[in-house]
Amino acid sequence: MKQMNQVTKYQNKKVLVMGFGISGINAAHLLVKLGAKVVANDQKTPKDPAVVKDLEQDGIKVITGSNPVSLADDGFDYLVKNPGIPYGVPLVAAFVKKGIPIITEAELGYEIFPGHLISVTGSNGKTTTTTLIQRMCAEGLPHESKYAGNIGVSFSKVAATMSADDTLVTELSSFQLLGAPEIHPHIAVITNIFSNHLDYHKTRENYINAKLNITRNQTKDDYLIMNWDRDEWQQIAKRTNATVIPFSRQDRSEKGAYEKDGNIYWQGEKIMAASDIRLIGPQNVENALAAIAAAKLSGVDNQAIVKVLTTFGGVRHRLQYVMEYKGRRFYNDSKSTDIEATEVALQGFDAPVILLAGGLDRGYTFERLVPYFKKHVKALIVFGQCKDKMKDAGKQAGLSTIIESENAITAVPEAWKLSEPGDVILLSPANASWDQFPSFEVRGDKFIAAVEKLTGQKEQK
């Protein structure tokens, strides 16, 4: 029987929901069901009037066009904000000053979910790892398994459809975790921690602390699955009360999931050859190891794990194989919005790579990519605000072919002209998309459309 947890803390409470994204709209409707008096606010006025009408029909007061700071004086008991809205925004800052609790929709999803919760965070690999775990659970467990969260599906909406026997695998960003003080997954996964989103978090320590909120409420009866391949990450793992389960591609621990001599193991038991994982690249071996640990702790058998890892071809925009055409292979890695992600993407290829890179200028340079350019890149096509900095890295690597293009779409026919049979044409920008596209998803979709136009073929699904 589908029965969400009965939550009473919001009954007759006045709640402001800030932001009309998928999570905000679902949070507003859920809060009404939980007995709250809800006001929904967005800085922009939705282009589709049906959005406002839908909220108002549920008894929700709607304020659009600005974020009036005066709302902080209207007696609200809670603020539920879109995760991406910074805490320095005047209206949010006013709630902070008053000491009014600020949460995200992820907290609501956790509160109503009655079943087995697995949560995944990290700088890179979150979505692939989340998807792998969910597929393994769906293949190997008798009850329903779904995913939600930062993966693009509302946590609270999915949670409301599940029972106490079901498994929900949630991808959680640092932004969501800042507003999820009570969240308590039985199994938490941290894929890795680099230095992302410092424009939001200000310091690396703040960013790490936000990530560690995933394990804040765990006890020794819970599990934290942690990447063991850097000493710093091992030190970070000491900051949990949970039972730590390591995973290692460098055979640095055999207490969890690890790769050794080309094979994948779980606590000494061989699962499969690493080369049989369909996803390419060393980063996907790490993602597979993290997923294996979560699946085994959840009771999934080896047969189900192997089936998923040998058949799953990748998440859209995450080193996604698009197609092969006249001996050239096209890959969409638009989700690579930082240097680390592009580093690991390049390491996945032995064939010569024509790399399409560039995007939003966040103030850093790309010297770190130089050794990867030297080893893997045949030609570099740059675009966006940081194209000159990317070009400088290409020059340092001694690349003989570096050209500018307007964007990731116009770069496709340019890459084709430079390519030969056996080459890989890879979009892995190492930068956010916001200088030219509203999201990395849009950038990746348009790249795929450009490849389809060039080849006259549809992407391979």
Determine the pLDDT at residue 460. 82
Asked whether 334 and 429 are in contact (CB, 8 A), the reply is: yes
Model confidence at 287: pLDDT above 90: yes
Neighbours of 37 (CB within 10 A): 18
Residue ranges of domains in the chain: 14-103, 106-311, 320-455
Nearest to 322 by CA among 192, 412, 215: 412
Model confidence at 121: pLDDT above 70: yes
As annotated, the binding site includes 122-128
Confidence of residue 359 (pLDDT cuts 50, 70, 90): very high
Model confidence at 197: pLDDT above 70: no
Q: What distance in Å separates the CA atoms of residue 374 and residue 387, rounded to the nearest whole number?
A: 18
Model confidence at 202: pLDDT above 90: no
DSSP 8: -
Confidence of residue 4 (pLDDT cuts 50, 70, 90): confident
What mean pLDDT do residues 255-281 have? Answer: 96
Question: Could you tell me whether strands 263-266 and 269-273 are parallel, antiparallel, or unpaired per DSSP bridges?
Answer: antiparallel
Model confidence at 73: pLDDT above 80: yes
Confidence of residue 47 (pLDDT cuts 50, 70, 90): confident
Q: What distance in Å separates the CA atoms of residue 8 and residue 87, rounded to the nearest whole number?
A: 27
The answer to whether domain 106-311 has CATH 3.20.170.30 is no
Residues whose CB falls within 8 Å of the CB of residue 185, separated by 6 or more in sequence, listed in order: 117, 118, 119, 170, 214, 218, 222
Model confidence at 269: pLDDT above 80: yes
CATH number of 14-103: 3.40.50.720
Q: What is the largest CA-CA distance in the chain?
A: 67
Q: What does the H/E/C string look like for 140-172?
A: HCCCCEEEEECCCECHHHHHCCCCCCCEEEEEC
Place of tokens 């996803």: 279
Confidence of residue 282 (pLDDT cuts 50, 70, 90): confident
Q: What distance in Å separates the CA atoms of residue 44 and residue 405, rounded to the nearest whole number?
A: 32
Q: What distance in Å separates the CA atoms of residue 247 and residue 165, rounded to the nearest whole number?
A: 27
Q: Which amino acid is at 62?
A: V
Quickly list DSSP for 82-106: -TTS-TTSHHHHHHHHHT--EE-HH
Instruction: State phi, psi for 34 to the nearest 5 degrees.
Output: -85, 5
For 282, counting Cβ atoms within 10 Å of its Cβ (0-12 exposed, 13-18 middle, 19+ buried), the class is middle
Model confidence at 1: pLDDT above 60: no
Alpha helices in 34-67 (DSSP H): 49-57
Kindly tell me the number of DSSP H helices and DSSP E strands found in the chain: 17, 20
The answer to whether domain 320-455 has CATH 1.10.260.40 is no
Give the range among 228-237, 241-250, 279-288 with minimum mean pLDDT: 279-288
In tens, the pLDDT along 101-116 reads 999 999 999 999 999 9
Task: Look at the pTM and tell me if it is higher than 0.75.
Answer: yes
Determine the pLDDT at residue 196. 65
Rg (CA), the chain: 23
Query: Which H helix or E strand runs over 1?
Result: none
Q: What distance in Å separates the CA atoms of residue 184 and residue 166, rounded to the nearest whole number?
A: 16
Confidence of residue 199 (pLDDT cuts 50, 70, 90): confident
As annotated, the binding site for ATP includes 122-128
In tens, the pLDDT along 56-71 reads 999 999 999 999 999 9
